[in-house]
Amino acid sequence: MRRAPKKKIQKLAGDALRIANLAQAISQAGSRLEDQDWQNLLDSLVEKNLEMRHQSVLDSAAEHVFSNFPDAYEILIESIESTATSGRVKDGDTEYEVILIAAPILAWSRFEIFSGAIPAEILRSLTNSWRESLLCKGVQVSLLPNLFSIDQLPQTYCDVNDLMQHTAKDFLKNKSASLPKDLPKTVPFLADSRYLLGVVLAPINSPVFQWQMTPSPFDVTKAKEATLLIWKQRAHAEIAHMLPGCGFEFLLPEAYYSACREADILIRPISIRSAVFYLTQTLNIEASELGAIIGRFGPETYPDQVDELRVGFTLRQHPEIIYGVIWPLYQQEDEINALIGPSLQDATDRSGEIPALLAESGVTNIRILEDIFGMEYCDDCQAPLYADAEGELVHPEMPEDAPPEGSVHLH
């Protein structure tokens, strides 16, 4: 299940109420025919509000459904995400189906991980590689000329839909894809995701991705693995040029929200390992000299909800947090799996994903705090705050005698 909205909205009326009721109706449908009828009405109403940029209507509907009809919440979010990232556009008498695709790249380095404008020659090469490795014959693609960090991705459903629509229409007018103005600055991390975004235009009722051409017995998993391998081989040189000094891993390009969630999940263990390696190499210490404090964090509007875990690292004999890593949560069972393990109820057993990763890396002094903290950030630099052993939220600070940033390579 996707996480609840961060923003609590009290009032529900008009289209927001109709959207919430339609999502509930779909969850109660007794036949596929009824389900599809309600779904068409819901998708149309969501599309209308996306076009009018009524983000607050979508937010309030999602908030209401999450709080009152949890069985319908996934249905509603899937409708909003799908409608925001796919649709149809016309070019004269020709109509195309369009979809916004993200190609995530997981990267790690002691140095800054690049994000920003893609040189024109590399953009052309990546576009050809994407077309040849991913898409069916006759399907066109417009790749945006930027390697995005997560901070630079569109933040709302309306922003995502605008980006898809404008990119598709510019492509049909033979105009270069344009970027949103004033992209935020990238917050640096040792391990982070980067994203290529592209809008795909396909003939109506035609397959889009090459794995859709898989013959019987339809082993789509195998077909996707083959597609990913070809994409890696064809794009490796260009990505390596843009990410100097980085290790990186390709993920399969897919629909925008699905690809972004997959990247968020798969970067988590890389972030833990990278942090331990960085600290031991930078401070010239053994991993056993580090400690880790794990805190639960969630929105203040939902006091019992945990949206992410923040792992603060300390030196074993000192209480100060010197570095931190965020572990985002998406499924309801994520917290248990991360801290305790799927089959255990004893948090002292340390068999959850995070304690296991820390122990595997040599960190055995691990503390899991019981409190749930508000998702606080530094007022000056917007960096996340971490809980120390006393339950105080603090800004990580490396020791004063630590080598300057960039002096130790990560791999």
Instruction: Please give the radius of gyration of the chain, using alpha carbons only, rounded to the nearest integer.
Output: 23
DSSP H helical ranges for 299-341: 334-339
- Is residue 354, in this structure, part of any structural domain at all? yes
> Are 133 and 26 spatial neighbours (Cβ–Cβ below 8 Å)?
no
Mean pLDDT of 243-272: 95
Say what the pLDDT of residue 100 is: 98
Q: Kindly tell me if the per-residue pLDDT of 408 is higher than 60.
A: no
Q: How many domains does the chain have?
A: 3
> Do 104 and 79 reside in the same domain of the chain?
no
Is the domain of 130 the same as that of 238?
A: yes
Other Cβ atoms within 10 Å of 122 Cβ, number: 17
Indicate the residue among 68, 84, 100 that finishes a domain: 84
Residues 98, 135, single domain; the answer is: yes
- Looking at the domain assignment, is residue 408 inside a domain? no
Judge if 102 and 149 occupy the same domain.
Answer: yes
Q: Return the closest-CA partner of residue 97 out of 190, 192, 200.
A: 200
> Token pair of 61, please?
């509907």
pLDDT tens digits, one per residue of 76-107: 999 999 999 999 999 988 999 999 999 999 99
The residue from 263, 297, 324 where one domain ends is 263
* Domain span holding position 221: 92-263
Strands 308-315 vs 321-328: parallel, antiparallel or unpaired:
antiparallel
| pLDDT score at 341 | 74
Across 64-216, the runs of DSSP E, i.e. the strands, are 86-91, 94-108, 116-117, 140-143, 146-149, 191-203
Averaged pLDDT, 152-178? 95
Which helix (H) or strand (E) element contains residue 242? helix 220-242
Per-residue pLDDT band at 13 (split at 50, 70, 90): confident
Both 379 and 289 in one domain: the answer is yes
Q: Do residues 120 and 241 share a domain?
A: yes
pTM for the full predicted model = 0.88
Q: What sign for the dihedral angle of Cα 254, 249, 189, 387? A: positive
In a domain, 222, yes or no: yes
Domain boundary among 207, 234, 263: 263
How would DSSP label each residue in 351-390? -SHHHHHHHHTT--EEEEEEEEEE--B-TTT-PBPEE-TT
pLDDT digits (tens, 9 = 90+) for 19-63: 999 999 999 999 999 999 999 999 999 999 999 999 999 999 999
pLDDT per residue over 371-390, tens digit each? 999 999 988 887 899 999 99
Using one digit for the tens of pLDDT, what is the confidence trace for 169-194?
A: 999 999 999 888 889 888 888 999 99
pLDDT digit string (tens) for 305-355? 899 999 999 998 888 999 999 999 988 789 999 998 765 455 455 579 999
Inter-residue contact 263 to 195 (CB < 8 Å): yes
Band (212; pLDDT cuts 50, 70, 90):
very high
Tokens 């995530």 belong to which residue?
104
